[in-house]
Structure formats: C-alpha cells, structure tokens
C-alpha cells in the first residue's frame, strides 16, 4: 500500500502553477475515435440510409425521384396474403356454368371447374371469414341462385367493372408490364376496400362557401389546410384540373366562365398532394419542377396518371354511383348518403404500383375482358 503522501510536494507545486486542460484533447480523441468507429461500421455493414434514384426526365434537369433503399425493399404486406389459383384444364364437352347453375348473369361461359375456382378466389379476396354466405343467403342449403343479398348484386356489377378496367383501361393498368386488377387489388380481404371516400363538403348550408372547404383537417385533404373537396370536384364531377393565370395583371374576372381562380389552384394542389401520398412519390415523378404548367416537359408517368384520373372518373360515375340505391343505409356516406367512391390510394395504398406490380390477371383471364377467356 502506498503511503498517504507518496506524491512529492514539488510535483503538487509544479502542477498547481502549470495547469493542463485534459478535457479538450479528450474530446478530440473521443470524436476522432467515434468517427473511425462509424466509418468502420459503414464499411462492414453498409450505409443504412442508402438511397436509389429513379430518373424521370432529361439529365441535368434534376428530374429524379430518390427514396431510401430499405423503403424500396420493404414489401407490401398485402402481397404475402394474396391468394391466387391458376385456371383448370377444360375437358372436352365440359358443360358451362350457365347450363349448370341458375341465375348466372356473368361468367356463365366458364367451365364449371373454372367458375367455382374464381368464385372461391373472390370469396378469399372479399369475405374470407364469412365464405359463400356473404353473397349467397342460401349457401348453407345449397341455394346460390337468389339475389336476396345486396352483396351479390354489387359483386356481379364489380366483376363487370373489373373486366371493363382490364379491357378498356389497359394502357393504365398494364403501363409497364402485365399487371391488371382483380378484386383483391382494392379489397385486400376486406368487405369494403380501405381508402374509399364520401362527399363531405359542405356539411350544411350554414357553413356553405369556400370556408367550408378550406382549413379543415380531413382525409380528403390529407389533414392539411388545402381544400377538402378536390376528390369530389375532379374525380366525380369532371371539373378541369387547372391553376390560375401565369400572366401578371390579367383583365379576366374570377366570375367569368372558364377562368381559373386561386381556389381552383389550391384545389389542384390538394389533388396533387393526394396523388403523391397515394403513390409514395413526389411531384417530379410526373412533372418537371421548373415548368409544372408545360405539358411538353412532363414525364412518361404523367400520361399514365392522366389515364388513371379518367379511369377513376368512369369507375365512380358509371359503376359505383348507380349502385347507390342497392346499398343499405349503413354502407352510405355520413353526410349525403352517397355510395363509397374510389381514388388513387384505393388501389395503390402508398406504392407506385398496386401490390408492387404483382400480376393480378395472370391466373384470372376471366377478369381480363368481358368476352370468353383466353387460357394460355
């Protein structure tokens, strides 16, 4: 054991007269050591914030979309739950579904095996827990013919709508490769697809006017102060998507027909914000940020998105709104008793391609067009 005063007095005296700051060097040494450690980890394990860029326009224009690699590599959880069943071989002289079952108004030209195959698939896509009884009230007794349940009437129309989408809107749903849509694209195992919308503005006459649309945190406005009626105006009422004049001191009056006002502009911003969140991409995925207004400088994705807008308008007006009287009251909107409608996010769910480009019609040519299916 060292004596109590083992340090010489001269050393204490010298250190008292010559103090040394040991904290500064320690901080520098610690910082350098930490940097070396981080660098070694990045070399060994890779950059956790690594990104990939998708070039969407000419080089040098800054038209690219950057996303973290780990985000791009994260699979849509719905893909793992997808149920698909390839077509059955058709035996010679095999009877058709319409000749076997009663009241088969769609898909009647399918063989019995393929008809029951697609019915089983639709059940898994829309009502996996309830089974056939979700659409067929007498399923437990073997009666599938009656139209007692509204769900069967709606399902029949939705099958025709799916065929129409795959046939008439081929350039949108198969823009990059064969993808198409089937019931699971929207439903994902749920009776009512998520991310549908209802009319909400204005709530009543007392709050009518522009203030009823602006500064309201709604799902339609993506919880921003932007107008909450963009989906209604553009994806249901066919209003033209446009912004105010780019010229200064214009003589046009906001009350004139065809004149775009600041309200139209903000409503357009609201729709574009919805677009970005629906696809998980930003503005330059479709536009040149230096000239949003110039159609000659847009990307190829702009054309695909434009077709998507027209497709959604048709789905809402030609397929969904006509079913309003078919749905029970509890399935209608909270303000106007309107039917649920679709928009981009109903299918995309935050991904550039629904189900990350999963081919949804490869196993279901019956849903690819309204005519007889082509089995390959």
- Annotated binding-site ranges: 119, 132, 135-136, 158, 172, 183, 186-187, 272, 283, 286-287, 344, 347-348
Q: Helices in the chain by DSSP H: which ranges?
A: 9-17, 23-45, 69-73, 77-80, 97-100, 112-126, 150-168, 170-173, 183-187, 230-235, 262-279, 300-314, 344-348
Give the span between the Cα atoms of 236 and 346, in whole angstroms: 15
The label of the residue with tokens 């437990």 reads: 140
| Angle formed by the axes of helices 112-126 and 150-168, nearest 10° | 100
Task: Tell me which residue of 138, 135, 113 sits closest to 122, measured CA to CA.
Answer: 135
User: Residue 54: which H helix or E strand, with range?
Assistant: strand 51-55
- 8 A C-beta contact, residue 343 and residue 198: no
Peptide bond into 293 cis (omega under 30): no
Both tokens of residue 340?
A: 């649920």
Among 123, 122, 118, which Cα is nearest to 108's? 118
Annotated binding site for heme: 119, 132, 135-136, 158, 172, 183, 186-187, 272, 283, 286-287, 344, 347-348
Tokens representing 206 are 């007392």
Alpha carbon distance 360, 288 (integer Å)? 32
């Amino acid at each position: 054991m060292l004596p109590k005063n083992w340090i010489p007095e001269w050393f204490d005296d010298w250190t008292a007269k010559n103090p040394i700051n040991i904290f500064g060097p320690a901080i520098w040494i610690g910082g350098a050591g930490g940097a070396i450690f981080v660098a070694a980890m990045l070399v060994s394990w890779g950059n956790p914030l690594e990104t990939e860029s998708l070039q969407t326009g000419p080089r040098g224009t800054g038209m690219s979309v950057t996303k973290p690699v780990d985000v791009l590599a994260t699979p849509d959880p719905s893909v793992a739950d997808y149920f698909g069943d390839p077509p059955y071989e058709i035996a010679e002289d095999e009877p058709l579904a319409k000749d076997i079952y009663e009241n088969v108004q769609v898909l009647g030209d399918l063989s019995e095996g393929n008809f029951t195959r697609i019915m089983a698939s639709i059940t898994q896509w829309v009502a996996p827990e309830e089974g056939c009884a979700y659409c067929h009230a007498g399923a437990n007794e073997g009666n599938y013919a009656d139209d007692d349940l509204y769900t069967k009437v709606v399902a029949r129309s939705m099958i025709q709508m799916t065929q129409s989408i795959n046939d008439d809107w081929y350039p949108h749903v198969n823009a990059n490769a064969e993808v198409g849509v089937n019931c699971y694209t929207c439903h994902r195992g749920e009776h009512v697809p998520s991310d549908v919308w209802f009319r909400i503005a204005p709530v009543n006459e007392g709050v009518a006017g522009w203030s009823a649309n602006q500064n309201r945190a709604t799902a339609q406005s993506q919880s921003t102060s932007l107008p909450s009626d963009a989906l209604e105006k553009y994806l249901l009422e066919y209003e033209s998507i446009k912004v105010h004049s780019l010229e200064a001191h214009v003589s046009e009056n906001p009350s004139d027909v065809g004149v775009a006002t600041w309200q139209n502009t903000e409503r357009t911003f609201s729709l574009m914000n919805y677009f970005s969140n629906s696809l998980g991409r930003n503005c330059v995925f479709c536009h040149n940020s230096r000239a949003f207004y110039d159609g000659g400088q847009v990307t190829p994705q702009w054309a695909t998105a434009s077709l998507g807008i027209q497709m959604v308008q048709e789905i809402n007006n030609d397929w969904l709104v006509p079913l309003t009287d078919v749905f029970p009251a509890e399935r209608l909107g909270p303000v106007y008793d309107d039917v649920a409608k679709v928009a981009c996010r109903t299918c995309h769910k935050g991904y550039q391609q629904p189900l990350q480009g999963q081919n949804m019609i490869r196993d279901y040519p019956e849903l690819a067009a309204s005519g007889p299916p082509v089995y390959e």
